Structure 1
């Protein structure tokens, strides 16, 4: 079995068995003894995850949406998941990033946001296309997306947007309107993230590219996960989830 396929299967089972069904024995096997936790919501190490899973057994289960597992994107030792669920009457959107080592989860990052009641584009934060199975363009799309992010979001060379973005861009960032013009208007606003954003890693599969970057919003350090779908060498759909560090 291809490494990425195996890793996606293991993560899918982790959500279904360990998170949804409380199977901590499965989690015990899947998580490395040297596991590194970057989520501020959990205690450090493997023990922190197992403690959280045991606490979840005692809590009312969240109501899953019709499609709680929206995406699984994998490259090499990394798996990115996008999901949404209802908790306490509020819909949460989540990006989880896992790193594997010897087929065990060795490291984890995440970002969680509430789905706002209204958005600038009328789209939910986790709706949209799923990754294609065709990985022939993975490397090409990754190169394009990294150059796009560097030139547009970091260097703010907004005049170059038409080179990278389709006119009918579908937008899921709640603060940005649909279309190339919506992104253009957003990027023309003053931003304290200019020159402070740094790309940490990029995970790509087929027509999807995930960029993990660190920057600031209102002087607060943040971790940003940008997810782009490309078609014919242009970005045609964008998702954004971020969290404070």
Structure 2
């Protein structure tokens, strides 16, 4: 991994896990730090004013970086957080933009509760971590882009999922969905499916891993809400074989420019 990935990791580990927010945000961010995290203002002072009280309230902070993708100027992190010895467990999915000096200048995140069991016996963070197939980065990114645009966006045709997802092996880390393409296809092909993707905001990849941040909407008889949706895909031989996701409701009002 390059220096930009190390800067993103260290902002987490030194700033939040080790309790040095001002030192870390000053060291690892650039001339600006545009923030899309709910409740956090832009800039060094926004980071400090949010995390100093967080650190004081939460003296025990086990933070583990499970996956890291570096793609040009962008870095993606898949992170597990255990706060106060199990009082709260979170999965954070973070995208960072960097400048020519590899310093962080913009940040997006989606945070959701950790799931310790799925229908097929996984968790929301376990599974493969090894980055391979670096020569296939761009083709794998294009496969994921087509998967979302063709099958998951409003008006898309989920009958085409098998063009992009393996029929033989599909490991699913969503807390509500079992392994296997057939289980996901049943949900996605429902004509009244409540979740639809509206826009791909960020798409980053490295070898066999691709991560996306999308604008999405959940609409059923009980609610109509906009969400920030992160998906992480692992690919083999041109097909998705493993999937993790994270979703967070988009706040109506926030202290920065918004979730996207």
Fold match (TM-score > 0.5): yes
Distance 1:94 1:229 in 2: 18
Residue aligning to 1:86: 82
Greater mean deviation of Cα atoms: 96-105 or 27-36? 27-36
Q: How does 1:4-19 map to 2 (within 5 A)?
A: 5-19=2-16
Aligned residues: 239
Q: How does 1:1-245 map to 2 (within 5 A)?
A: 5-23=2-20, 24-64=22-62, 68-87=64-83, 89-102=87-100, 103-116=102-115, 118-154=117-153, 155-167=155-167, 168-189=169-190, 190-194=192-196, 197-218=198-219, 219-245=224-250
SS in structure 1 opposite 2:135?
Answer: coil
Partner deviation per Cα, 1:16-62 (whole Å, 9 max, x = no partner): 21112223223212223421111113233331102223224423334
Distance 2:123 2:104 in 1: 30
SS in structure 2 opposite 1:166?
Answer: coil
SS in structure 2 opposite 1:136?
Answer: helix
Greater mean deviation of Cα atoms: 96-105 or 224-233? 96-105
Greater mean deviation of Cα atoms: 21-30 or 95-104? 21-30
Distance 1:117 1:12 in 2: 24
TM-score by structure 2 length? 0.85
TM-score by structure 1 length? 0.89
Residues 7, 100 of structure 1: 8 Å contact kept: yes
Partner deviation per Cα, 1:70-97 (whole Å, 9 max, x = no partner): 0011111111100112225232111011
- State the Cα distance separating 1:123 from its structure 2 match: 1.6
Partner deviation per Cα, 1:171-198 (whole Å, 9 max, x = no partner): 011122210111111213322444x521
Q: Which structure has the higher relative contact order (CA within 8 Å, separation 6+)?
A: 2
